[in-house]
Amino acid sequence: MTAEASVLSDLERRTAWFIKLRWLAASTVIGAAALAAGLGLSVPAGYILAVGAGLLVYNTLLWLVARLLSVRPVEQDWASVNSFARLIVPRTFVGLGGEAGVARAALFAFVQITVDFVFLAVLIHYCGGIESPFCVFFVFHVVISSILLSRRATYVQTTVGFLLLAFVVFGEYFGFLKHYPPDAFAVPGAYRNLGIVTARLAVLGATLFLASLLCSTIAVDLRERVRSNVSLLRQLEGAYEKLRESERTKSQYMRKVAHELRGPLGTIETALKVLLQGLGGALTDRSRELIARAERRAGELAAVTQDLLLLARAREAGLDKEEAPVALDPLLAEVIEDFRERAERKGVALKAGDRAGGVVLGDAIALRQLAANLIENGIRYTEPGGSVTLHLSSQGERLALEVEDTGIGIAAEDLPRVFSEFYRAANAREYAAEGTGLGLTIVKAIAERHGGTVVVESNLGRGTRFTVTLPGVHDRPVGAPE
Amino acid sequence: MSTVSGRAKILIVDDDRDLVAALRVAVESAGYDVVSAYDLPSGLEVAGAERPDCIVLDVMMPHATEGFHFVWRLRQQGEPYFRNVPILVMSAIHQKTDLRFYPDSADGTYQAGEFLPVQDFLDKPVDPALLLERIDRTLRLKAGA
């Protein structure tokens, strides 16, 4: 069952339970009136019977409406639900989906409770007003309202109930409502009168039993919910563990395959190079061309294999690996130096921009790989005369590494996919034949394994900026004890 | 130790026989004699018997980092030859560890206590032209020492 269906069915189930309770209440009122009449108590039994009968009719109508609502799906969406209905839906349910259905069910419950208050006020009026032992029955509705509706709606209904009670009490006090004295409950020596004792005991008993019914029903429901949550949590934990295990297996498999491929591929590359460099004897032009093609393809395959190994490593790091403090600024300076010659060869300016000190907890080799992949990417897709700039800045508790180039850029439709495995944008493939399509996947995997994120912004033809944010370790120099 | 004909002798130690075959073609084409071995024990045996002028060594052999142990055991042998014979290490291992085993100096010597007492280091996959250049340089440094 979906979360929204669960919330809605929960509310409908409680409303149905509420209607069942009302059958009991109506029967009790009728029974009590008949009993009072039978015992000869001086109560307006006719009126009370009428209240009970009215309650029966009203509850029959509610039962029919509830049945009708249960088969009519809500077509409205939350945005078109009116502001009053929005106020009575418990906030906890908003955001789970299906709020319009929940709002309709909540509105139905709100109407019921309000009308119940009217019935109860009338009943109290005929049973002695402020002297009536039924006054405490308002509590039950307040409890029900607090279960079904928002806190604000409960306060509104409590106020309505209180005002109705006040209307009856002051109506009788000022005389514009007739007072029906509960003589039965006020006779001196009433404890010796079987009728009075029985009636009072019946009211108290009904109060106690109704209270225990309400509370135990809620408690059982809550316990069931806790039980189902615990069971759900266990299932989730199991599923998460399986997912981690499957991720680990996949990664280990990928690493094993890549590792097994790398050795033979290296041998093929070296053997082809021996031939290509003429070390095995003179070659015809056609042979040389074919061997050059084979050597190039072997090189491409070796690059993919190498990147698959790096990706497996990036994904496995953090699963089992111990973390150590890594100072980013010197690490980036080293990576920039590693790429300086390549950038100069292409005529691309490799610059260190803003530099902030900062330490992250992690795997230094992986973080170096992350920076290297971004810089390599920048140099590869930037025309001679352009630039690749690195900025390292502090953003509160996090460190941000920006690698900005003035290269060919990435089309808006390609941006969401640049971190996918083996994906290369069309203009990237056109501009540079080499490239495995795994470099940015590795960057993302490394960033995520370090609790970080990577985002990309780009203007086609004008340049691209990758921003990696990583959680920083503050006030603790590298190597200092924790 | 040069052979009778005066050509330098190179020992290639690698468990990948195909790679050894390819490197043999390259190294022989440059006028060196080549001897080979495919694991640690036979590598030590051939080194002892043939006394090559230079050893080209793979790090990762069937029993993990057998190449490291080859170097350590070779260097531990008493004769000065074993302490001084130049070793060129081929490996891709530096890509997955931050162990530093590059020699501290570029003059064909190594320092006492260095993690891996070897003269030079080559990335795998090996570029044959680069390998020949390094062998040549190593032998020149050795001759000048």
- Shortest CB distance from B18 goes to which of A271, A313, A365? A271
- Tally helices (H) and strands (E) across chain B: 5, 5
Rounded to 10 degrees, what is the CA torsion of A215, A218, A224, A230? Answer: -100
**Residue spans of alpha helices (H) in B59-144:** 66-76, 80-84, 128-144
Rg from Cα positions in chain A: 39
CA distance from start to end of chain B: 14
SS3 of A459, please? strand
Question: Does the structure show a pLDDT above 70 at B75?
Answer: yes
Residue of B nearest to A317 (CA): B96
Of residues B1, B9, B7, B26, the one with CA closest to residue B122: B26
- Shortest CB distance from B16 goes to which of A263, A273, A279? A263
The string of DSSP letters for B7-19 reads --EEEEE-S-HHH
CA A274, B124, B93 angle in degrees (round to 5)?
165
Q: Note whether B11 and B55 are within 8 A (CB).
A: yes
pLDDT the model gives residue B64: 61
The mean of the pLDDT values for chain B is: 82
Q: Note whether A51 and A122 are within 8 A (CB).
A: yes
Q: Note whether A380 and A418 are within 8 A (CB).
A: no
- CB spacing of B29 vs A263 below 8 angstroms: no
Distance CA A20, CA A14 (A): 10
From B126's Cα to the closest Cα of chain A, the distance in A is 6
- CB spacing of A266 vs B98 below 8 angstroms: no
Q: Do β-strands A463-473 and B33-37 pair in parallel, antiparallel, or remain unpaired?
A: unpaired
Distance CA A180, CA A255 (A): 88
- Global pTM reads 0.57
Question: Does the structure show a pLDDT above 90 at B11?
Answer: yes
Distance CA A104, CA A72 (A): 11
Beta-carbon-side half-sphere exposure of residue A213 (alpha carbons within 13 Å): 15
CA distance from start to end of chain A: 47
pLDDT tens per residue, range B111-136: 555 677 788 888 888 999 999 999 99
pLDDT the model gives residue B135: 94
Question: Does the structure show a pLDDT above 70 at B1?
Answer: no
Rg from Cα positions in chain B: 14
ipTM at complex level: 0.83
| A273 neighbourhood in chain B, CB within 8 Å | 127-129
SS3 of A96, please? coil
pLDDT the model gives residue A151: 84
Helix axes A3-39, A45-71, angle to 10 degrees: 160
Q: Which of A255, A277, A279 to mutate to test the interface with B (most CBs of B within 10 A)?
A: A279
Strand ordering across the sheet containing B120-123 = B33-37, B9-13, B54-58, B87-91, B120-123
Residue the block writes with tokens 């006719």: A46
pLDDT in tens, chain A (482 residues): 455 556 666 677 777 888 888 898 889 888 888 887 887 777 788 888 899 999 999 999 989 988 887 777 666 666 666 777 777 777 666 666 667 777 788 888 888 889 999 999 999 898 888 888 788 888 888 888 887 788 888 888 889 989 999 999 999 999 889 888 776 556 666 677 777 777 777 777 877 787 777 778 777 878 888 888 899 999 999 999 999 888 888 888 888 888 788 888 989 999 999 999 999 888 899 999 999 999 988 888 888 888 888 888 777 765 455 578 888 888 898 899 989 998 999 999 998 887 777 888 888 888 888 999 999 999 999 999 999 999 998 887 888 999 999 999 999 888 888 898 888 888 888 888 777 888 899 999 899 888 899 999 999 889 999 999 998 876 444 444 43
Q: What H or E segment, with its residue span, contains residue A352?
A: strand A349-352
- Shortest CB distance from B127 goes to which of A263, A267, A273? A273
Beta bridge pairs of residue A6? none
Distance CA A276, CA A284 (A): 11
